[in-house]
Every structure is written in C-alpha cells, then in structure tokens.
Amino acid sequence: MSDYGYRPAPPPEDGRPRGGGQQGGRAQGNPSGNAGSGQSDYGWGGGQPQSPQGRGGAPRPRPQQQPYGTPASGSASVGRASGSASVGRGSASVGRASGSASVGGASGAAPVGGPGRTGRASVGSASVGSASVGSASVGSASVTSARPGGREDRAGRAGSGPGGRRRAGKGPLGEADLDPDTGKKKRKRLGRKMFATFIALGVLLVGAVTVTGAYFIQSAPQLENVFRQGESSAFYYANGTTQAGAYGDTLRLQAEVGEIPETVTDALVSLEDRKFWDHGGVDYVRTMGALVNNVTGGETQGGSTITQQYAGMVLEAREEISYDRKAREAAMAMKMESEYSKDEIITAYLNMAYFGRGAYGIEAAAKNYFGVELKDVTYDQAAFMVMQVKSPNGYYDPYYTDAYDEGAAQGRWNFAMNSLVETGDLSQSERDEFAYPTPIDEFNSSGSWGGNTDVGFLINELDGYVFDELLDRYGITREMLKGGEDNPEGGGYTVTLTVDPEIQAALKSTGSRGDIAVETNEAGEPVDADGAVVDAAQAERILTDEGYAQFVNSNEDAALEKFPEYMMTAMVAIDPETGAVLGYYGGDNGFGVDKAGAESPHPPSSTFKMVTAATALESGDSTESWFNGSSPRQFDSLTLDDVEECIGGGDYPDCTLRNGSQNSQVEMTLTDAVRKSKNTPMYSIAEQYDASTILDLADQMGLSVMNQARTIEDDEGTPHDVSINYVMNDDGTYTQHGTAVDAEGNSVVDASGNWDIYADIQVDENCNPIVNLDGLFLAADEAVPCDIGGKNPTDPFYNHIAFGQYPTSVRDMASIYATIANNGFYNESHFVAEVKDNTGQVVEPFEGSLDSGQVISEETARNLQWIGSEISGESATGEELDRDYFGKTGTWEAGGKDKDGEDYPDSYNAHAWYVGAIPQLSIAAWVGNLTSESDPIADVDDDPNNVFGSNTAYPVWFTAMDRVLDKKDWDKEEWDGRVEDQGNVTSWDIENAGGPLEGGAFCAAKPDDALCAGVQDEQAQQECEADGGTWDGEACQEGEEDDDTEQPTSDPTDTPTDDSTDEECGGFMQPPCDEETPSEEGSTTPEDDEDNGG
C-alpha cells in the first residue's frame, strides 16, 4: 500500500457500499422497508396510488432487513484531558490537561488547553475550547504529553518518548588513534562515525519535524466544531438505551466511550499501532524508519499512528499523499493526545472509520458484517472488520464477488490474528480455536432503518409520524435530521420516543399473528402468480374460501390466536397524565396501512357513547336522568320531507331508529342507556343538544380525525360518492381532506407515492367540497377552516355521531378515554419525549406546543368512570383485572356483500371494540377483517352471528393490559367514585317521546312526577272502557260489556334493517350509504341488552 501503510480508505462519496460487485440488489442503501404492492389493509402491504381510472402507480421501495439488535447510545460531557477521567453513559467529566516539553537545551512548561464545553464522550464529538501551546527551541527533543490514562496499564507497556540529548564524543584524537597497527580499530571507528552521522541526520529530521509540528499545532483547526457530523439521527425507546431505528443517508452508528469491547480495540491496536497505548500521538522511531526508507527509494511506507489516522479523517486529508499532510496530521495527533484520553481517541477512530458495506463506525459494521451487537463481537470477527478499513471496496469482503480476493483476505486475517498472539492478547491455543469467519449476506446499508417494524409507523423515513411532530414542536426539519456527506453539519440527533419498550412488546405479542400467508416454491421462497421468486410483499397471497387474506398465525401468544386467521387487531396505549403514547400497534410493518392511525379509521360504534353521555352530563343532566330506550323509535329528524324518504329505517313518514334486534318499549336512566348500549337515547341527546356540540366536546377530549362518506354533485348535477377526512383543530374548526387532483389533473400523492388521502381540497363559500366531472376533489393550496356547527346543528356530522357511526382512529379513542381516566384533564397525545442535537444539547420544544386543559368537569369524568366500571367482557382465561378499570364495548355491522354478491345478514359484524383504562394507562383495542373494512369477522368458534365487543375485542384489551401490568410495578389506584349530586334528574326525553310508557319504569320509579299523573288517569280510563264502563273524568261508571271492542294493533312500522338503503342515504347532512371502504351502517348497531352493548 502506498498511502503510508496503515491508512483508512475514504468512504464512497454517495454513502453507499462500494466494491467490485453486488449481489441480487441487496444493500443498496434503499429505505428500510416497503409497503409492497398488494391490496391489503394491513401493516405488511398497502394499496398503490389510485388514478382517475382506477388504482395503480409505482410500487414502494423494497424492504431491507431490519438491523439486528438494539444498539445503545447516549451522550457525555467531555472537557479537557487530565490525569483521571470518569466516563459513563450520560455524562463524563474530564479535567484540564497540562504537560511540559523539553526541546533541545531549553525547556519550559507549556499549558495545553483549558476547560471545555460539555459534549459527547468521543473525540471529535465534544465541544472544546482553545489550546495555547508554548514555544520551544530546536535540538534533540523529548516531547511528552499529559493525558489521562484511559486504558488500564499493561505489563511491558511503559510510556516513554524518545531519549534526551545524545552526548558528543570524547574530543580530539589521542595517541591510540594514530597507532598504525590498529586498522581494525580504525574500521570500527569509521563505522561508529557513519552511525553517528545517521543519528545526527535523524536528530535534525526530528528537530525539523518538531519545529514543523509546533507550527501546525498553532494552526491546526480546533475540535470544537467536530461533532457527530453526517451521522444518522437515532430514534430510541423511552428508556433511552434501546434503539428503535434511525434516519439518514448512511448507516452511521456511534458507540460511547466504554462500549467498545476489548476484542475490537485489541484487534485494531495489534494490527495498526502496537505502541498506541504508549506514544504521545506520533511514533518517532516508526516515522523515521518509514521516512528513511522512502528517501532512499524503498517502497513507500507509513508511520501513522491510530491518532494520526484519526487526525487525517478530521482534517479530510485522507486521499492526500504528501509530507505536508503528514506534518499536519502529526500536529493534530499531538494536540489530540494532550486533550483526550486514549479510550476517547480509539473510540472516535472506530466511530468515524468507514468499514465498507455502507457502514460508518464499528457498531454499524458489527450489524452489517455479522448481524450482532457490538458488545458480542468476537476476536475473529473483530480482526475481519478492522482489516476492512484499509480496503472497504470489497477486496477483503466475499459479498462483493467481483472484487473479492479470497487468498489476500485470508492472508490478511491470519496476519491480524497472529498479531494478537504477538501482542499477548491471545495465546496460541486460543488463536487456534478461531477459523476464518463468514459474514452475513443480508444487511441494511441505508442510514434509515426501523421503518419495517411495528414502531415503523412512527419512524419510517417516508411518512413516520415523528417527523411532523419534530417540525411542529421543535422546528427540526428532515434536512436537519438527515446528515450525510452532502449535509455534514446535519444529522446526529438523538430522538427519544415516548414508547415504552415493555408496553410496546406487550401490545405486539398480543396483536401480531405473524406474516401474511403467501404462495411459496419447494425451497420455501415466496413466489408470484407466475411462480417467479419475489419479495413476500409482492407474493401471491393464499386466500380463504371467502376470498380474504390471512395470517400464518405463528404467534401462540396472540390474543386472536384461536380466532379465524383473517382477523386482526390494532391497539394504542396512552399515559393519561401526560398524553405520551406508550405503545402503538397498527401492524407488524410500518410501511403498510396503519390500522391504528388516521389513514385507516373505523366506526367507533358504542365506545363513542361515553362522549355523548359526557355531553348530557355537561349540559345539566345526571346519571339518573330518564330516557326512552324503545326500539324501534320514531324521530322526526329522520324524515326527509322534500323527497318523502327516511334516514335509516322505517317507512316514510314513520321513520325509526333501532337498538339492534330489540323490539320493545322501555325506559331507563342515562347510566343504563350507556351500560346497555342503547342507540335511541344517544340519538335523542344529539337532537336535544346538537350533534355539533357532541363533536366539539369530542374534539376537546382528544378526537383529531373523523371520516364521512357523502354524495356530492358536480357542476352538471351528477352525483358522486366520495370519502372525506375531517381534521379537528384546537380552535373549534375543522378542515376537509381527501384524494385529489391538481389543476393539470395529476393525482396528489404522499411520500410513498400513493394517493394522499389527506390532501387539502377546495371548498365553496359554504364549506362544501368541490368535485370535478370525474367526481375527484380539487387540490387546494391550503385547507380552509370551517366552524363546527357553523352551517347548522348537524355540521358536519348528523345525529348518528352520538352512537359512533363515523369512523375515527384507534389512537383518538385511546386519547378520549385517557381524558376521562385523568378526571377530565386532557393532554395531547404525542410520540416524542426528548430531543438532543449532535452536540448532546437538549433541544427544548416550543412553549405550548402540546395542548392541555380541563375539558370536562371532574364530576363528569368520575361519573363516566363509574358508569364504565360495570362494562367488561370475557377474557380468554376467565380472569379479571385485580384493580379498578372502566371501559366500553362496541360493534358495527358488516355492510358489504359476500362473494356471491348477496348482502350480509344483519347479524354480521365487521368491527368490534373495547376501550378502557386504569388510572395509569388507557388502551383502545379494535378488531376487524384483514382484507376489508366492511366484511364480517367471527367469534372464536368462527360464528359471524356472535361477534360482540365483549367476546372479541375485550379479550384483546384484557390480554394487553394484563401483560403490561406484569411488567410494571404500578400501584393499585382506585377511582374517586361517583358524584351522585351532579346535574338534575331530568326527564325531557320522556316528554319528547310523547310521555311515559304505560306501566313503564319511569312512573314506577317516580309515581309522583307530573308526567305520571296523566298516564295513570289514561290507564284507568282505558281499563274502564275495556270493561264496558264509562269514564267520567275522575271515576269509571259501569256499563254493559262490549264484545266487539277493537284490540290494540301492532306497530304498523315495518321492521327496519340495520343497513341503510341506497334510496335512504347519501345526501348532504344524511348518513352515508354503505361503502366497502369504509363501512357506513346508516342508523343502528346490533347491540342487545344481554351483551352489555356487545
């Protein structure tokens, strides 16, 4: 090698692994995962962009293998070097350095450096102050540096520099020198003179180097600007030590001082710089030997120490071959040695070096070569990786088949292993136990990784949620996070997520059912419909008889393990006291469709009744207020007089609403209406207090998104079915979004290249969305805010919002219940706990960046907790939580058609929910069909007629919560209990329904109520007249019995179905028609008294 011997080769300019060949397109620096091209609503593959003619578009990038292990990182404060150093994760305190230089005949103390600012515990990462260097005169020099003893002292490694001044000869020649018989002595004297001459030359050269070094020390750049330049920004779980992923152009991982095992440092030192632990930055003997050899015409050699090599990286002089560069490196090396410990220097070297395979830093190399964590690297692996630094272009790497030289590689590795024996790090017998290692073939060369995991929805490089949050709350852009060769001052951020690794693991173990089942060949490789080997995301799926995709069901710990394979779940866990998202499971692959997020909302069904009940309580009602829970029940607001049709069930003008399959007239309190999950009382609350009031309160409690399917006419009056996503704002307004086209008719796509379902859309002066003649929204420059209830009391959602018709996200439902659990105090949900920049400094969020406040009274929250404390379900084991909790079940019916084109029976459900909380944690659990939002699911016996929240979603919630509590040492906190005197015991709904029912519960409980007095007289009159008497207004006068008296007739209203019909839905301010995605069941849910609301 001509570059002075042991020279780290520069990394490729584009940040990708380079070499003579590549295999199968692997390790190309692509994003860390993909969504695939399958039409799936799950976290393993998402749909593609939809053009006006249909769905299509370019596929997402192929997935990369997730890096093995969970590297840890942190930050440490580093000042000047001193005799001792305390270095640990989180902080390191290093004192001032001082030393003396004796040069020639003169000597003097030269203080070097001073106290520095805090920074990371690695050379080039810390921010340090300026250094002053004393002057020196030239002679034969002894230069030492004061530095902390980073590594423990080893036998036979005494620290020493070159010797002092060499004494001159004895003086003039004496008689013995003139003896003619002493020729042999003359030859000896001649040899001594020649040797002295070379020594003198060496002294002069050393002096020259010293003078030059003194000059370059003065002019060397300060290290205060050498941070974690270009490093990938790292995402960590809430514990701060377990890495979840990264974002950047190149895979650059940084180990902290003390984290690099001796296997690595021993291999590096024995191969590159055996005097590393002893010299002061420059090995003079080695440098002179290389210099003399080069001057005399020998093969170009180098004497660079590890410190000099690192200095060359910092100075970006890696490809420059000159003595000027060597002098600058030497000066920088001496300066580093005076300011940093040996451990800091060798850590910095191993962090900055390029090892090939796109890996910057030894920690990244450990992942990409052997798929192990740094702490587990063995001697044979360490030697293999260290030797790559000389030739990271594939010469020593079998992955690059075109460039690999097996003989040279094995020879270099044997040399490295034998060096470990020579330095005493290994005995010969230990060395003999190691064989030439074989690196892995699958690795991730991208600086971004973690996107194809269960937390990938938060951190994937395409559309991870944290990027918007970092911009909104901290002002940190993607460019600032990214780093890379073209952005050396960017990157290196450490983002700590709110996600607790134990809670996340509990949610994943509860939810994951393994991979999607796909067709494979005889070798077990996934294949497409033509039998070609493809990635699993593009493989042909194995469908059920009903045509549903299904899981391989490989996780025995999944709560749905015994349920049909086509079912899946999504869960979100939130800390009520902070709003921190502690767990998030929307699928196994963050590049797929997030079933827990806003991109895949589900009708919350009866779980939303808690918000409706809160509206009643906040409006002055009490838990004992009375409601008519009859089914079917007629409501005037369900009639469309202009077209003489009904919204929902019934025959115009007798438009009715149902409570599932119930056919009875009943009265009940608000408490029972929620616990028994009745729709008709909830609808009456929306009529009484306005649907917009319910929406506004839900917004304050944590609702952020809601979806609605509507029918909108274009300019020519042609109706089009559309899906609108509403985003709620903090100021009581909403904006509207959906798939749109721009002025040129081009589809508006998201970062993944798919239709952007949250594109800003144009609205008219009345806040009604505008569609073109193809029925597509027109893209707007920015969304227009509209007032909730600004147009009418049902703007933008009709009264059916009261029982959860309109889809929202699992995350939002967890947030709403977290507000109830926190006694009515709302904390905005978020994913980011802390951010540090590339100097290790904490970046503070903008003041007020998270919304919070008391949004419902404590009395309302406590009463909701009390109501929900009696609503549970069936756990898989039959056990109960041994602590207070509250919750609410919910189901929503299937609205599509089966494979034969027939409507699903009314008893089939497509969605099941349980949302509940303990004081420390709120969890929302949803269960649905993997393939479609509107297709049915089944119970554990594969019966689609017996699906309720209590026997389908509650087991998921219970399992997740139980596993969390197994890991957390949380106190068994109790709810504060019911507030009995809140509000008034109202009966306005009894009156609105036409009065109390005969023999009903209301008058039985309140016989003295004014409404009941008339009912008793009416009942007595009917009984009198039925017996043939005459009622005189006060008493019955007996008469002859009339056998021809007509018997009461049955309800003439046809029994309505749970599905709305095409003729009875879809207009503005009307419930939407059934759509396969999402399902919208116009007016009812199949919930019965027996099910606790199912």
* pLDDT tens per residue across span 557-601: 999 999 999 999 999 999 999 999 999 999 999 999 999 999 999
Average pLDDT over residues 412-438: 96
Between vectors from CA 484 to CA 481 and to CA 389, what angle results, nearest 5°?
A: 135
Q: pTM for this one?
A: 0.72
Average pLDDT over residues 790-809: 98
Query: Given pLDDT bands bounded at 50, 70 and 90, which one contains residue 834?
Result: very high
Query: Residues 452, 457, 460, 466: is their CA dihedral positive or negative?
Result: negative
What pLDDT is stored for residue 3 in this prediction?
Answer: 32
Euclidean distance between the first and final Cα of the chain, in Å? 76
What pLDDT is stored for residue 190 in this prediction?
Answer: 52
Query: Given pLDDT bands bounded at 50, 70 and 90, which one contains residue 98?
Result: very low
Q: Residue 858 in contact with residue 506, Cβ under 8 Å?
A: no
- Helical residues (DSSP H) of 107-224, grouped into ranges: 183-219
Average pLDDT over residues 893-915: 94
Average pLDDT over residues 176-190: 46
**Nearest-angstrom CA–CA distance, 634 and 656:** 4
**Nearest-angstrom CA–CA distance, 278 and 1027:** 117
Is 60 exceeded by the pLDDT of residue 844? yes
Average pLDDT over residues 198-223: 53
Taking the CA of residue 839 as centre, how many other CA atoms within 13 Å lie in the half-sphere pointing to its CB? 14
Ranking 105-119, 193-207, 652-666, 745-759 by mean pLDDT, the lowest is: 105-119
- Helical residues (DSSP H) of 900-1032, grouped into ranges: 954-967, 988-992, 1001-1005, 1010-1026
**Nearest-angstrom CA–CA distance, 916 and 955:** 12
Nearby residues of 522 by Cβ (< 8 Å), 6 or more positions away: none
| Fold classified for 251-433 | Penicillin binding protein transpeptidase fold (1.10.3810)
What pLDDT is stored for residue 835 in this prediction?
Answer: 98
Q: Taking the mean position of all CA atoms in its chain, how far away is CA 633?
A: 46
What pLDDT is stored for residue 467 in this prediction?
Answer: 98
Tokens of 207: 């002096």
What pLDDT is stored for residue 286 in this prediction?
Answer: 62
What pLDDT is stored for residue 309 in this prediction?
Answer: 84
SS3 content of the chain, % helix, strand, coil (to 5): 30, 15, 55
Between vectors from CA 478 to CA 476 and to CA 481, what angle results, nearest 5°?
A: 75
What pLDDT is stored for residue 157 in this prediction?
Answer: 36
The residue with tokens 């040996």 is 342
794 vs 152, higher pLDDT: 794
On average, the pLDDT of the chain sits at 78
The single-letter DSSP state of residue 983 is: S
Is 80 exceeded by the pLDDT of residue 708? yes
Distances from the Cα of 593 to the Cα of 32, 464, 572, 752, 858, angstroms: 16, 12, 15, 11, 37
The single-letter DSSP state of residue 608 is: G
**Nearest-angstrom CA–CA distance, 341 and 348:** 11
Integer-rounded Cα Rg, in Å, for the chain is 38
What pLDDT is stored for residue 360 in this prediction?
Answer: 87
Is 70 exceeded by the pLDDT of residue 268? yes
Treating both helix axes as pointing N-terminal to C-terminal, what angle do 262-272 and 406-422 enclose, rounded to 10 degrees? 100
Is 70 exceeded by the pLDDT of residue 117? no
Distances from the Cα of 1068 to the Cα of 618, 722, 791, angstroms: 29, 12, 12
Other beta carbons less than 10 A from residue 989's beta carbon: 25
Average pLDDT over residues 907-928: 98
Is 80 exceeded by the pLDDT of residue 926? yes
**Nearest-angstrom CA–CA distance, 656 and 652:** 9
What pLDDT is stored for residue 1013 in this prediction?
Answer: 83
Tokens of 633: 């029940």
**Nearest-angstrom CA–CA distance, 552 and 571:** 20
Average pLDDT over residues 65-87: 34
Average pLDDT over residues 273-284: 83
Question: Domain locations in the chain?
Answer: 251-433, 705-790, 998-1031
Tokens of 866: 């009390």
What pLDDT is stored for residue 215 in this prediction?
Answer: 52
Is 70 exceeded by the pLDDT of residue 741? yes
Query: Given pLDDT bands bounded at 50, 70 and 90, which one contains residue 494?
Result: very high
**Nearest-angstrom CA–CA distance, 93 and 421:** 35
54 vs 830, higher pLDDT: 830
Average pLDDT over residues 979-991: 97
**Nearest-angstrom CA–CA distance, 541 and 44:** 12
CA-wise closest residue to 928 among 953, 906, 903, 907 = 953
What pLDDT is stored for residue 99 in this prediction?
Answer: 38
129 vs 768, higher pLDDT: 768
The residue with tokens 């139980």 is 962
Residue type, 893: E
Tokens of 137: 């005169």
Query: Given pLDDT bands bounded at 50, 70 and 90, which one contains residue 456?
Result: very high
The residue with tokens 């890096």 is 67
CA-wise closest residue to 987 among 995, 979, 998 = 995
